[in-house]
């Protein structure tokens, strides 16, 4: 039996107030690209402000779509330098969330866990740092944590994928995704996949830094995955592909903001908030500096062109796709 999932932008608060008398659904915050300049142990004040805002919101889980520290350059950083960056990240992000009782689930980015062989030491440290910091949620598939794994948050299945290189998913990774969705997808109302690199070229200057993987897009649609959440492009954009899958590019908190691909419109520093209640999924972005204002998605580009067609901006009130 299928139930429609609707995603509203800018009216989420009204919808949730109307459901106040019913059981609470799931709330998921998404942060990404928090790192500063190469090797830096400093974080911009807006990172602390974003974490404080998220603590106030009390989501069920926070997803980090990568680039939490500033590696992946040459000359290579020493292990001590990389560990110092992680210590700072934990001080600014991991520890405040943990103190508030909010689980943090992560996926590697190119600057903190790149799969390119030259950065193997940084990737090894990424795995070590997070192996002892498992989020306090139900694990559905944990053997390859923190690279490829799946967790349950209420009625939501969340799958983290290791996507840091510009290439289609390796067969082993595709088989992992297929196995998790085939074995466990049916028992969840909503299925979400998150990773660092997107399938679509959301931002100017990063048009080639995507997963050129039409098979992955088809795989997501075949299993009624509601959305693919990604980072790396430093823009907030929600768009629907031809199969009805929502692709959410999460905005940046560190570094620099970018213009949208094929547009002069510039994004804003932000984090994403996903709210799921009674089959209704609302996606919004909270903008700096205080992260109280929601970004008006109606002012974003109407389409994002890519190698497999056009991604259509999600319109408020539209039905994205169906979920079991």
Burial profile 147-183: b = 16 or more Cβ within 10 angstroms, e = fewer? bbbbbebbebbbbbbbbbbeeebeeebbebbeebbee
3-state secondary structure of 50: helix
Distance CA 302, CA 292 (A): 24
Distance CA 70, CA 303 (A): 31
The whole-number mean pLDDT for each consecutive block of 10 residues of the chain, a chain of 324 residues, reads: 38 35 79 97 98 98 98 95 98 98 98 96 98 97 98 97 95 97 96 98 96 93 97 97 95 97 96 88 94 94 93 68 42
Strands 26-31 and 270-277: antiparallel
> Phi then psi for 45, rounded to 5 degrees?
-60, -25
- What CATH number is given to the structural domain containing 270? 3.60.21.10
Region of 68 (left: φ > 0; alpha: ψ -120 to 50; beta: rest) is: alpha
Structural domain span for residue 78: 3-323
309: β partners: 306
In this prediction, residue 165 carries a pLDDT of 95
How many domains are there within the chain? 1
State pLDDT tens for residues 140-160: 999 999 999 999 999 999 999
Q: What is the mean pLDDT of the chain?
A: 90
58-63-65-68 Cα dihedral, nearest 10 degrees: 60
Burial environment of residue 89 by CB neighbours within 10 A (0 to 12, 13 to 18, 19 or more): buried
Distance CA 29, CA 98 (A): 14
3-state secondary structure of 80: helix
In this prediction, residue 315 carries a pLDDT of 72
In this prediction, residue 23 carries a pLDDT of 57
Contact 12, 275 (CB under 8 A): yes
Contact 133, 122 (CB under 8 A): no
Distance CA 44, CA 23 (A): 37
Contact 29, 62 (CB under 8 A): yes
In this prediction, residue 316 carries a pLDDT of 58
DSSP helix, strand, coil percent of the chain (3-state; round to 5): 25, 25, 45
Distance CA 15, CA 73 (A): 45
Both tokens assigned to 223 = 């299993």
State pLDDT tens for residues 12-57: 333 333 333 345 799 999 999 999 999 999 999 999 999 999 999 9
Distance CA 300, CA 249 (A): 12
3-state secondary structure of 313: strand
155-141-112-265 Cα dihedral, nearest 10 degrees: -30
Stated pTM of the model: 0.91
Contact 230, 63 (CB under 8 A): no
């Amino acid at each position: 039996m299928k139930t429609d999932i609707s995603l509203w932008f800018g009216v989420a608060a009204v919808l949730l107030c109307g459901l106040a008398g019913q059981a609470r659904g799931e709330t998921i915050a998404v942060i990404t690209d928090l790192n500063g300049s190469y090797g830096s142990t400093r974080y911009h004040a807006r990172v602390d402000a974003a974490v404080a805002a998220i603590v106030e919101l009390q989501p069920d889980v926070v997803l980090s779509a990568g680039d939490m520290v500033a590696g992946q350059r040459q000359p290579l950083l020493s292990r001590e330098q990389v560990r110092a960056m992680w210590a700072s990240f934990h001080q600014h992000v991991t520890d405040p969330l943990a103190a508030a009782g909010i689980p943090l689930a992560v996926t590697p980015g190119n600057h903190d866990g790149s799969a390119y062989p030259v950065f193997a030491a940084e990737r090894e440290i990424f795995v070590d740092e997070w192996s002892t910091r498992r989020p306090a949620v139900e694990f559905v598939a944990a053997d390859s944590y923190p690279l490829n794994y799946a967790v349950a948050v209420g009625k939501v299945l969340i799958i983290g994928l290791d996507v840091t290189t510009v290439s289609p998913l390796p067969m082993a990774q595709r088989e992992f995704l297929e196995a998790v969705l085939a074995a466990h997808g049916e028992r969840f109302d909503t299925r979400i996949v998150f990773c660092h690199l997107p399938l679509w070229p959301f931002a100017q200057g990063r048009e080639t830094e995507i997963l050129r993987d039409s098979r992955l897009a088809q795989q997501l649609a075949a299993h009624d995955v509601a959305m693919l959440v990604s980072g790396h492009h430093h823009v907030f954009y929600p768009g629907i592909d031809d199969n009805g899958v929502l692709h959410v590019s999460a905005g940046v908190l560190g570094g620099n903001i970018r213009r949208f691909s094929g547009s002069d419109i510039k994004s804003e520093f932000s984090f994403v908030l996903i709210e799921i209640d009674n089959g209704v999924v609302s996606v919004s972005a909270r903008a700096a500096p205080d992260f109280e204002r929601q970004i008006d998605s109606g002012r974003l580009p109407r389409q994002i062109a890519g190698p497999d067609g056009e991604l259509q901006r999600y319109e408020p009130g539209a039905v994205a796709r169906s979920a079991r």
